[in-house]
Amino acid sequence: MAFKLQSRSVWRTASQLPLSWSPRVAVQTPQRVRRYATPTNGQQKRTAIVTGSARGIGKAIALRLAQDGYDICVNDIPANKSGAEEVVSEIRGLGRNAFPFMADVSKLQEVQKLVEASVNELGPLNTMVANAGIAQVKALLDLTEEDLKRMFEINVYGVFNCYSTAAKQMIKQGNGGKLLGAASIVAFKPFALLSHYSASKWAVRGMTQAFAMEMAEHKITVNAYAPGIVGTAMWDLIDEELGKKKGAKKGDTIKKYSSELIALGRTSVPEDVSKAVSFLSSPDSDYMTGQTIVIDGGIIFT
């Protein structure tokens, strides 16, 4: 005779089993050892190079990483030396070690000297943030060969120089590391009048993926961050030049973009970006590589 046992009865029966009861087959989850690409706060000290960090997003990144426990090599070009020295002073005020080093990232030999100086001053290199970059507002048919050359020398060659030189140092050290590059939302969808800037950031995104594939065997992760419209000197320039093209007053273009394009309805600040870079520089992102993380308040949805 068939009968149906109510679910409540099943629960009561199971709950009345003796404490010594155990299933016939025990399944154990394998224990895996986490090997960090970057030491944690409780381990050896951490060091980072942040290029283009005398102001703007680079400065915010340098300060945030210092707060996270990093010692920082603050890099920029000679024209921004005083700004770099101010950032160093702020970092030292946070109780971390820092020093300025002037170098043009578009020149490989200068980047090699930058990495060498950082290692000599701060110790083994854990993280390279290839943040330095330029922008230019210009119509496609007005671009000159020199415009394209300069854009790619800094934004693409500069990232390559930083990635490759830092990677060689990390491989020599044998403890892995993190490479981070500055992309942009235009690495996903170009903006009109920012064609060669957009193309350079697409290149950064592709190079980041390629480096991620080849550096994985060395326990080096490679990721990029893609800011949107940020209240920095670069975007002030973009706003001004776009305004000239469209007959808008200074500040109106960014306001229009912020209200019409950004889901969260406000222009970003450098600290919005530095928070994401903080994550990418921490052990919490050790299982991420080859990614370009968008921080734009909701313009590009990936």
Catalytic residues: 197
Residues 6+ apart with CB under 8 A from 76: 51, 52, 53, 54, 55, 58, 83, 84, 100, 102, 132
Strand 70-76 to 177-182 pairing: unpaired
Angle, CA 278 vertex, CA 46 and CA 111 arms, to 5°: 60
In the DSSP assignment, the letter for residue 139 is -
Query: CA–CA separation, 118 vs 113, rounded Å?
Result: 9
Report which residue type is found at 45.
K
Q: Contact 281/220 with Cβ under 8 angstroms?
A: no
For residue 175, which of 292, 47, 30, 42 has the smallest C-alpha distance?
47
> With the C-alpha atoms ordered 91, 79, 101, 274, is the resulting torsion angle positive or negative?
positive
Q: What is the rounded CA–CA span in Å between residue 38 and residue 173? A: 12
> Which structure tokens are listed for 37?
């690409």
